[in-house]
Amino acid sequence: MRGIEAAGVCIPRLRISADAVADAWGRFSGTGIEEKAVPTADEDALTLGIAAAEAAMAEGGVDPRDVSLVSFATTTPPLEEEALAPRLVRALGLSESVSVRTHAQSTLSGAQALSACLSATSPALAVASDLPRGDPAGADHPFGAGAAAFLVTDSAAVTHLDSATYVDEFPGVRYRERGDDEVAGLGATAYERDAVRTSVIEAVNRLDADVSNVHAAAIHQPDTRTPTRATRGLPLDTEPLRRGTVVDRVGDAGAAGVPLGLLSGLASARGDDRTLAVFFGSGGGATAMLFEGSADAGLDDQLDRGERIAYPAYLRQRGYVGGAEVAGGGAHVSLPSWRRSLDQRYRLVAGTCPRCGSLAFPPEGVCPECHRNVDFDRVELPRVGRVRAVTVIGQGGAPPEFTDQQRRDGAYGVAIVELSTDDGSATLPAQLTDVDPETVAVGDEVRAVIRRIYEQEGIPRYGVKFTPTGT
Amino acid sequence: MTEAYVVGAGQSPFGSFPDESYRSLFETAFERALDSVDGGFERERIEEAFVGTLGVGGRQLGLSGPAVTEHVGLHGIPTTRVENACSASGFAFRNAVTAVRAGLADVVLAGGYEIMTDTGSDHTKWWLGVSGETEWERLSGTTFAGVYAQMASAHMDEYGTTAEDLSRVAVKNHRNGARNPNAQLGFECTLEDATSAPTVADPLTLYHCCPTTDGASAVLVASEEVAREVTDRPVRVAGMGASSDRVGLFQRGTLTGIPASRRAAERAYDEAGIEPGDVDFAEVHDCFAIAEIVAYEDLGFCERGEGGQLLRDGVTDPDGALPVNTSGGLKSKGHPIGATGTGQIVEAFEQLRGGAHTQVENPRYGLAHNVGGSGGSATVHVFERSAEGSA
């Protein structure tokens, strides 16, 4: 039966408590949210999505080259116009003939991505990744971040029983004006509650199934009260709703909110337990999906590993303050040059010298050992290696293209990392991320993650950074 | 092949000079070089020039050689700008010696210049990173301080070199620089000052890093015949070595040494027919404190990993067996990128003629060691004092 074969999740490591936001503003407008996840300066919808998708692929039994569809959902793409999924295709080493779709513009896009994959007939990857922004004085309070990814196949552990959709015009509940990156709501409370509840109930009623016995229900969750309000009248107890709610610990993750709630529900499910997911989108309408089975993407582990930050650090990390254009420009690496190095930056593709067997990274020019002009054999280096040299670049020590990142995220570590295969080893310089750089020493084991490296000519560039395997 | 000699050498003060231009600083260095020739020297005798500059600030990136040689009245002679990052004028000097030895010219000027202190900090940092490997090293977020800091971390891990060893380089070179009126940071510092200074790139503190500097230097290279004519005390270029390597530290197979320095030194010693133990003093490329420690090892002054011990034993102090950076080095005298290589030769010239500010006792052989970037290029030159009246 078609359904979810494996799932992956990525919650940024930083957290801020609702209390910290309340201390700053004298109030906190995110009912029931205790803390929320905070993306760091080098994370965005793409990097969170890649991390979740990598985890799902690692968990599932599908060769990356056999994935036939990638559906990426987000309301916060790094660029307003430009396909996002091809970057993920390159980063994960998927096939060049894969179909790609990007679903945006609505919190409902998570459902669209999942539906597209469930309707396909071959292995498909649905990714919902989001980090909404709003006016820090209020609309921003509940906004968190996260990503969920689902590997959808015909031999799934979690089977998809049914989906149903309801559509009607309900504008203004949650919208963003053209050219604005801050989400707003009209604030017409009764109307908004009615829009959500009507859409949710109508979608669920169109399911060809009884939901009274579901183990968990992940309902549109901008805060903890909405799932309860939106399902009033449906035969759902508080316990299933609780199992499908993660907004209290992640914050409002926009298009990734219900997908994360679904992962929470699936993680606690046993045997043929059923989990309901209902996505709402301002505009409006809702999609309901019913699944049977269980899957554990490790959401709880990630939720338990957060590191709390204070409100000023939060404002910096999210770029509300601190970011700036710097004089002098950046190191100019042309986009075509950068593109030629994508296999190295994403997949750590090195070259083996066919004459002497040495490893070259990047595999360009002559062999670094025998100095012969050879055609290197492609080899992917392992994604775990060791620090051979390391420094910490403090305030003021960064080249200008990293000034913005440093203002937001503080001092960063730069290591020379050795990656070893049976044939030898290669070294590369790379930034350290998700770690206090002062704690990293020569000899430490680190693993590769894909992050935003820098931006040039308005276009973000992504590649490998390293983080200690202990974190 | 004729021998090549240094018959004159001069430098501008190194420092920050908002009232000077790169042309006026070069003029000062050039006039001082002319004046240093015992019997005086007419600029018309100079047949060719090699000028080193990175071009920091982009003030005259194209034709940056003629821009200064024409300014000082070297009208019409062939001038070549040499760019090899911080070793630009070490290589300019190499070209000048090669031209003289090959008999292409009897007198060739080698020099260099850089203005680094008149741009905003973002702009300056932009330039400080341009000689790292751009696509990977620079875009991992490092400028040179970061790359040398990585080298230091690996050296400390492998050999037990300490932060205090790094500070000893600063203390020694500042003490020497304090006696050099041309030094940019001509003051002394203590071990405590150096170790407790703010961190620039861990483990390097501010005192473990050279400053950014404005300055120029010029050296007159002449054939044996001309040298004999114009001075009784020419300095012979006894050995010359140079080498290149991959631009990025991560590409070179070792993180604790600079192979290009090693190869350049071997060639220079071989040509001079001497051993490292014959060297009486050296000007080495101490852009960061770890670079001086690594240089001791690459130049054969000690075994691998023993650079720190050499400092602890005082061997490289002015009164030690092998004084290093009596000028103050890049650390205290300053590091105007394109002017550094020939600036080191100014000190070697003065030491071997007995007029240095921190004079070594009766030296015969002196060495100058100039590195580009983190080791993508290096020159080593060995100089020999002429026996009285021999040249």
**Distance of CA B348 to CAs A160, B74, B216, B242, Å?**
81, 25, 16, 18
Residue A251 sits in the same domain as residue A391? no
Residue A129 sits in the same domain as residue A170? yes
**Within a domain: residue A330?**
no
Please count the residue pairs, one from chain A and one from chain B, whose beta carbons lie less than 8 angstroms apart. 126
Residue A140 sits in the same domain as residue A289? yes
* pLDDT of A423: 83
Average pLDDT for A190-214: 96
Q: What is the DSSP letter of A33?
A: -
Contact between A391 and B130 using a beta-carbon 8 Å cutoff: no
* pLDDT of B59: 87
**Within a domain: residue A325?**
no
Comparing CB atoms, the residue among A326, A399, A442 nearest residue B143 is: A399
Q: Is A456 on the interface with B (CB under 8 A)?
A: no
Q: Of A283, A317, A351, which closes a domain?
A: A317
Residue A113 sits in the same domain as residue A247? yes
* pLDDT of A401: 87
Domain ranges for chain B, please list them: 4-119+213-235, 124-211+239-383
Polymer length in residues for chain A: 471
HSE value, Cβ hemisphere, 13 Å, CA-based, for A9: 28
**Within a domain: residue A360?**
yes
* pLDDT of A330: 57
Average pLDDT for B41-70: 95
Residue A213 sits in the same domain as residue A268? yes
Q: Is A391 on the interface with B (CB under 8 A)?
A: yes
Residue A302 sits in the same domain as residue A404? no
Q: How many angstroms separate the CA of residue A360 from the nearest CA in chain B?
A: 9
Q: What are phi and psi of B48, to 5 degrees?
A: -160, 160
Q: Give, to the nearest 10 degrees, the angle between helix A45-59 and helix A85-92.
A: 40
pLDDT tops 60 at residue A62: yes
**Within a domain: residue A436?**
yes
Contact between B138 and A331 using a beta-carbon 8 Å cutoff: yes
Q: Of A317, A352, A369, which closes a domain?
A: A317
Q: Closest Cα to residue A442, out of B161, B208, B245, B205?
A: B161
Instruction: Show the tokens assigned to A18.
Output: 């609702």
pLDDT tops 80 at residue A124: yes
pLDDT band at A346 (very low <50, low <70, confident <90, very high): very high
For residues B246 and B253, give the distance between their C-alpha atoms in angstroms, rounded to a whole number: 10
* pLDDT of A331: 66
**Within a domain: residue A362?**
yes
Report chain B residues whose CB lies below 8 A from the CB of A427.
250-251
Range of the domain at A416: 335-468
Bridge partners, A468 (sequence order)? A446
For residues B368 and B376, give the distance between their C-alpha atoms in angstroms, rounded to a whole number: 17
Q: Are A76 and A254 in contact (CB under 8 A)?
A: yes
For all residues of chain A together, what is the average pLDDT? Answer: 95
Residue A312 sits in the same domain as residue A342? no
Write the CATH number for A190: 3.40.47.10
ipTM confidence: 0.91
For all residues of chain B together, what is the average pLDDT? Answer: 96
Give residue A464's region: left, alpha or beta (phi > 0; psi -120 to 50): beta
Query: Given 3.40.190.10, 3.40.50.300, 3.40.47.10, 3.20.20.10, which CATH number is that of B124-211+239-383?
Result: 3.40.47.10
pLDDT tens-digit map of A359-385: 999 999 999 999 999 999 999 999 999
Q: Of A282, A317, A352, which closes a domain?
A: A317
Tell me how many domains chain A contains. 2
CB neighbour list of residue A458: distance below 8 Å, 6 or more residues apart: none
- Tokens 């309900």, residue located: A170
In the sheet with A307-308, reading across from the earlier edge strand, the strands are A35-38, A14-17, A307-308
Could you list the beta-strand ranges (E) of A131-237: 146-153, 158-167, 216-219
Residue A116 sits in the same domain as residue A244? yes
pLDDT tops 80 at residue A244: yes
Residue A253 sits in the same domain as residue A385? no
Residue A68 sits in the same domain as residue A204? yes
Comparing CB atoms, the residue among A327, A391, A400 nearest residue B201 is: A391
Residue A274 sits in the same domain as residue A369? no
Q: How many angstroms separate the CA of residue A318 from the nearest CA in chain B?
A: 20
Q: Of A397-411, B60-74, B135-149, give the lowest mean pLDDT range.
A: A397-411
**Distance of CA B337 to CAs B292, B340, B380, Å?**
16, 6, 17
pLDDT tops 80 at residue B389: no
Q: Are A387 and A444 in contact (CB under 8 A)?
A: yes
pLDDT band at B36 (very low <50, low <70, confident <90, very high): very high
Average pLDDT for A392-405: 86
Average pLDDT for B67-90: 97
Report chain A residues whose CB lies below 8 A from the CB of B123.
327-328, 400
For residues B119 and B142, give the distance between their C-alpha atoms in angstroms, rounded to a whole number: 19
* pLDDT of A457: 85
Q: Is A442 on the interface with B (CB under 8 A)?
A: yes
**Within a domain: residue A328?**
no
pLDDT tops 70 at residue B391: no
CB neighbour list of residue A344: distance below 8 Å, 6 or more residues apart: A350, A361, A362, A363
Catalytic residue set of B = 86, 335
Residue A339 sits in the same domain as residue A308? no
- Tokens 């020379």, residue located: A416
Please indicate whether the domains covering B4-119+213-235 and B124-211+239-383 agree at the CATH topology level. Answer: yes
Comparing CB atoms, the residue among A337, A429, A438 nearest residue B250 is: A429
Classify domain B4-119+213-235 by CATH number: 3.40.47.10
Comparing CB atoms, the residue among B136, B137, B154 nearest residue A442 is: B154
Q: Which residues of B touch A (CB under 8 A)?
A: 119-126, 128-130, 134-143, 145-146, 149-154, 156-157, 199-204, 246, 248-251, 253, 255
Report chain B residues whose CB lies below 8 A from the CB of A328.
119-120, 122-126
* pLDDT of B58: 87
